[in-house]
Amino acid sequence: MPTPFAYVSLGSNLGDSRRLLPEAMGRLQQFSDEPVIRSALWQTKPVDCPPGSPVFINAVAGLRTRAGETPESLLSKLRGLEVEFGRQPKQVLNEPRILDLDLICFGVETRRSEALILPHPRAHLRKFVLQPLGEIAPELVLPGQTRCIRQLLGDLPADQVIIKL
């Protein structure tokens, strides 16, 4: 039986984000048994960030998890990768960051703990997640949703403007 597919949202608005995100997607390969599926890079305005925050570069990657991997163990690896790229402990909610990796979903798994909520609780509302996710998995239905990514994307307000790079 195949292992679950996990989708990870990547974001950066500090440093050379156009170089960092492809490098981070490449590093995700160490957690996958198949080639990582990569979206394009997208430039987005900061959402719910402190005033004056720089624009973000966002992407989504899909990976086939390894045998024995759990959502919690993958999340731990993602946090470690953020630190390797220079991410500092957060001081302010949604502050600018060199690398932000969010586990959007892990197969059909659901979680609700202090450390992890799956699927990501706001993924279905964020164009900076849905647009790149729609590139690589338009028919994916997130656990708890009844509509696929393509349909969810069509439901979003037009004011969430993002630019494909």
Measured CA to CA, the distance from residue 85 to residue 17 in angstroms comes to 11
User: Active-site residue among 102, 147, 155, 159?
Assistant: 102
Q: Is 66 one of the annotated active-site residues of the chain?
A: no
Q: Is 100 one of the annotated active-site residues of the chain?
A: yes
Q: Is 33 one of the annotated active-site residues of the chain?
A: no
CB under 8 Å, gap of 24 or more: what pairs does 157-162 form?
160/126, 160/127, 160/128, 161/45, 162/42, 162/43, 162/44, 162/45, 162/58, 162/127, 162/128, 162/131
Measured CA to CA, the distance from residue 90 to residue 103 in angstroms comes to 18
User: Active-site residue among 87, 112, 155, 159?
Assistant: 87
Q: What share of the chain is helix, strand, coil (3-state, %, to 5)?
A: 30, 25, 45
Q: Is 87 one of the annotated active-site residues of the chain?
A: yes
End-to-end CA distance of the chain: 37
Cβ(110)–Cβ(120) under 8 Å? no
Task: Please identify every residue annotated as catalytic.
Answer: 87, 97, 100, 102
